[in-house]
Chains A and B, each alone.
Chain A
Amino acid sequence: MRCRAVRKVLAADYCDGEIEGAAREDIERHLGGCAACRAHWLALRRAAVEPFRDAPPLAAPAPLWERVRERIGGGEAMALPAHPVHGRRLPFRLPGFAYAAASAAAAVLIAAFLIRQPLAARGGARTPPVNESEELHEYLQEQLALLASDGNGIPGSGEKTNGEDGSRPASSSYGTIVEEYLM
């Protein structure tokens, strides 16, 4: 039982110098007095420890770096600036403010385009300003008043009939014609 426990320690901690002091001395004392364990230890060292001690270094094959470099997208392209430009590189360098100015100009153009879109949706007709609209209304009222008068510029009489049959009010008739003409 004692030999079995010692052999477990021999195959790991003792062999690899992982135990020191009293524990190591205890093992060595046992080896000094037990021929079977001493033989076991020598055989173990010869078969499973010593062959590895002078292992020759293995050299990586020369083309390996070229393959790695190729895969990482090597060459000069890897020497990136502190603030890399993603995607296709420009054939020239621009100062930093140029990017900001270009962005602002693009924003203005997009805004102008979006503002004009509703006009285009109405067939490109321009909405008259408020003042123009009021002037037009006044003009129409004046024209309607003149047409509704008896021809001498007196308003009011045309409200009655527009002709001999008196079938419809003159204001609505003339108003419609004037509107169609002006609009």
Chain B
Amino acid sequence: MQALQRELILEASRGDVAAFEKIYRETADYVYGLAARITGNRADAEEVAQDVYLTIHRELGNFRFEASFTTWLYRITVNRAISAARKAARRRARQVEYDEGIDAGDRCNAPQEAVGREERIRSLLEVLNPDQRACIILREIEGMRYAEIAEALGVRINTVRSRLRRARGIIASRAREGGETT
């Protein structure tokens, strides 16, 4: 995602809808994509993205350019998405006894060749917790450095390092289990 011009951000903070829409157009795919991959759910991602832009609109007047706008956007998006993913996980845990049978049946019947790249990514991310998922996405898909991820998530670099290591270990372990069973 390209850095936004300072003037554009200032105009939007003064209530200029056209400037705010420009910011939205520049960043919406990124915000939505990040939210969709962390939550694993399109409806939740839309809710998160909407919430992110309402927050930005409300807080833009307080933005002091001490951090980059992009980092601020990352942080808001990731935090909202992780929160939504946790809520969704609790929701699923309550529903699991009703949905488990149907869900397992769908997975068994789904033809492997029909699973696209995105579906493959979704299935890999699904086995991670929201914090690990956010780290993997920011690193592997967004190409961020550890320091940038740490800043976006508000955690230490060592936390980023250990989350990535743990996440890759889980994914590789699931891959081995899948290879052994098929």
Say whether A137 faces chain B, with CB atoms less than 8 Å apart.
no
State which of A12, A49, A76 has its C-beta within 8 Å of the C-beta of B140: A49
State which of A51, A57, A65, A79 has its C-beta within 8 Å of the C-beta of B15: A79
Which residues from chain A sit less than 8 Å from chain B, CB to CB?
Answer: 8, 11-13, 15-16, 18, 43-44, 46-49, 51-61, 64-65, 67-69, 71-72, 74-76, 78-80, 82, 84
CB distance from A37 to the nearest CB of B (A): 14
Say whether B20 faces chain A, with CB atoms less than 8 Å apart.
yes
Cα A54 to Cα B140 with chains together (Å): 9
The contact sample of 25 A-B pairs, CB cut-off 8 A, is A8-B165, A11-B168, A12-B162, A16-B139, A18-B145, A46-B175, A47-B175, A47-B176, A48-B171, A51-B124, A52-B121, A53-B140, A54-B117, A55-B117, A55-B118, A56-B117, A58-B33, A58-B36, A60-B31, A64-B28, A69-B17, A72-B53, A74-B17, A78-B15, A78-B20
Task: State whether B124 touches A69 (Cβ < 8 A).
Answer: no
Say whether B151 faces chain A, with CB atoms less than 8 Å apart.
no
Within 8 A of A (CB), among B73-97: none
Cα A47 to Cα B121 with chains together (Å): 11
CB distance from A2 to the nearest CB of B (A): 17
Question: Which B-chain residue is minimally distant from A58 (CB atoms)?
Answer: B33
Residues of A within 8 A of B168 (CB): 11-12, 15, 44, 48-49
Residues of A within 8 A of B172 (CB): 43-44, 47-48
Say whether B16 faces chain A, with CB atoms less than 8 Å apart.
yes
State which of A52, A58, A80 has its C-beta within 8 Å of the C-beta of B14: A80
Question: Which A-chain residue is minimally distant from B36 (CB atoms)?
Answer: A58
Task: State whether A57 touches B175 (Cβ < 8 A).
Answer: no
Residues A65 and B140 in contact in the complex (CB < 8 Å), given A8-B165, A78-B17: no
Task: State whether A68 touches B53 (Cβ < 8 A).
Answer: yes
Within 8 A of A (CB), among B37-81: 37, 42, 46, 49-50, 53-54, 57
CB distance from B96 to the nearest CB of A (A): 26
Say whether B153 faces chain A, with CB atoms less than 8 Å apart.
no
Question: Which A-chain residue is minimally distant from B172 (CB atoms)?
Answer: A47
Within 8 A of A (CB), among B105-140: 117-118, 120-121, 124, 136, 139-140
State which of B37, B146, B169, B175 has its C-beta within 8 Å of the C-beta of A58: B37
Cα A13 to Cα B165 with chains together (Å): 9
Task: State whether A59 touches B29 (Cβ < 8 A).
Answer: yes
CB distance from A41 to the nearest CB of B (A): 10
State which of A16, A54, A72 has its C-beta within 8 Å of the C-beta of B20: A72
Question: Which B-chain residue is minimally distant from A47 (CB atoms)?
Answer: B175
Question: Which B-chain residue is minimally distant from A52 (CB atoms)?
Answer: B140
CB distance from B2 to the nearest CB of A (A): 14
Cα A79 to Cα B14 with chains together (Å): 8
Cα A80 to Cα B12 with chains together (Å): 11
Task: State whether B54 touches A71 (Cβ < 8 A).
Answer: yes
Residues A12 and B165 in contact in the complex (CB < 8 Å), given A55-B118, A67-B50, A72-B57: yes
Cα A58 to Cα B31 with chains together (Å): 9
Question: Which A-chain residue is minimally distant from B32 (CB atoms)?
Answer: A60
Question: Which B-chain residue is minimally distant from A15 (CB atoms)?
Answer: B168
Residues A48 and B29 in contact in the complex (CB < 8 Å), given A58-B37, A79-B16: no
Residues of B within 8 A of A58 (CB): 29, 32-33, 36-37, 118
